[in-house]
Structure 1
Amino acid sequence: MTNEIIIAPSILAANFARLGEEIAAIDAAGADWIHCDVMDGHFVPNISFGADVIKAIRPSTSKTFDVHLMITPVDCYLEAFAKAGADIITVHAEAGPHLDRSLQAIRALGKKAGVSLCPATPEAAIEYVLDRVDLILVMTVNPGFGGQSFLGSQLEKIRRIRAMIGDRPIRLEVDGGVTRDNAAVVAAAGADTLVAGSAVFRGNGSADYANNIAAIRVAAESGRVPKLQYGSASPVRTSESELVR
């Protein structure tokens, strides 16, 4: 795996009263992508925002808009999000009966296509669409709310999906409870794109956000290189039980 680490702050944790300013702040702070969690109160038990908000904030940054649609039905809204400024559109494998068709529709709109899996959904659900996707998103919390604790049980799924990807040019993204404390093991499992909400939007403005993003990035990069302790030939591993904080 040679993909560089990408940090994609989730604006779900931003101050919505000054959302444009918050996006400009994380842009200046070193965010690689802007992660937009769209919730409908139906597929997940919460409502966030829709295509009109994405269109309104699109001028705030030139960074990639990574739009995660936690909605169902989804196909009828793809064009609206594409026109609003999404660069990557990710749909859930669980959100509709024809995942292959949804992914084809996203690409037909000229956008990169992603597929997401809830914690209880096995990786077998995406086995036959790997050649349709540019990104696979593993949910490490149950979708619907920010600020939840990381589910260490998903690390093995991340490892298996990394093996499934092989040499395909597919990014492996993780969303849910990602912090500087678990970024290393998440990257070690095979993820190259980390979504973080609460862990980024701590503090007051761009300087604090920059420190938070940098800490997550450094931790993730460290996880990609085996660490040796006291000259031992055995890499030091972090217990999965230490991940929930």
Structure 2
Amino acid sequence: MNTIVSASILSADICRLGEELDRIKQSGCDHVHFDVMDGVFVPNISFGVPVLAGVRKHTDMFIDAHLMITDPLKYVGVFADNGADMISFHLESNSDPAAVIREIKTRGIKAGIAIKPGTPVSDVLPFVSSVDMVLVMTVEPGFGGQGFMHETLSKISELKAYIDKECPGTHIQVDGGINAETAALVREAGADILVAGSYLFKAEDMAAAARSMR
């Protein structure tokens, strides 16, 4: 699969969010990554539905909403209704994974399931055939700017081997500490959707940074 570059607006200048969204598109990025944190499932609090609605109004780019929240099933509908093209949620949340996947699919959008660095790949395998994407966190979820955890590479490879055998076409996304160097490592391991925040937004040339991730 071709590498998809997803820009996490967690690292954007929120006071200039419209301009930042334009910069993402002009730089050749493929997706907008929209991190949702509730201060419970993870210690930080980020964006909610009104911000998503504003982002949707401003851009026609593909929006991937990553729900790092305790009860994603409760919120699938409102995020779908306000512009998410894909919703990914955490296997470790309190909601029943199969129910969340069904609800996302009912809304007519793509579904993703995410696992933290410490969660074994075997835990997510029963759900892989039901989703469009599996997100392997390469840092602990909750804050931007963390360093890449190299021990997650074996998890990506394990997941890729399973997908190739059982459900070809399912995407593997990685999120956390991605730059030109780590992008090469995760691509080699099998990932094809690469999320980056700090690396893209702090670059002097975002387009060059995006190209380096491919």
Pairwise mapping of residues 99-110 of structure 1 onto structure 2 (< 5 A)? 99-110=97-108
Q: Secondary structure at the match of 1:36?
A: strand
Q: Could you say which residue in structure 1 is the equivalent of 2:194?
A: 194
Q: Which residue of structure 2 lines up, in the alignment, with residue 80 of structure 1?
A: 78
What residue is the counterpart of 1:68 in the other structure? Answer: 66
2:123 corresponds in structure 1 to 125
Paired residue for 1:23?
A: 21
1:215 equivalent in structure 2:
212
Counterpart secondary structure, 2:71: coil
> Which residue of 2 is the match for residue 149 of structure 1?
147
Q: 1:101 to 1:175 in 2, by over 3 A?
A: same
Partner residue of 2:178?
178
| Residue 211 (structure 1) shift | 1.6
Amino acid in the other structure paired with 1:196: A
| 1:18 partner amino acid | R
Out of 12, 16, 24, which is 1:14 matched to?
12
- TM-score of the aligned structures, taking structure 2 as reference length: 0.96
Q: Where do 5+ consecutive residues of structure 1 fail to align?
A: 218-245
Identity across the alignment (%): 43
* Equivalent residue for 1:158, pick from 142, 156, 159: 156
Q: Output the CA distance in 2 between the equivalents of 1:44 and 1:156.
A: 24
How far apart are 1:71 and its partner, in Å? 0.5
**Structure 2 segments unaligned to the other structure (5+ residues):** none
3, 7, 12: which one aligns with 1:5: 3
Give me the TM-score of the superposition, normalised by structure 1: 0.84
- CA deviation map 1:50-99 (0-9, x unaligned): 11101011122211101100001111110000011000100000012410
Q: Could you tell me how far 1:183 is from its partner in structure 2? A: 1.0
1:44 aligns with one of 31, 34, 42: 42
Q: Which runs of 4+ in 1 moved over 6 A?
A: none
Q: 2 CA distance for matches of 1:117 and 1:163?
A: 17
Q: Deviations over 1:118-166 (max 9, x none)?
A: 0000111111112210000000000000000000000000000001112
Contact kept? 1:138, 1:173, Cα under 8 Å: yes
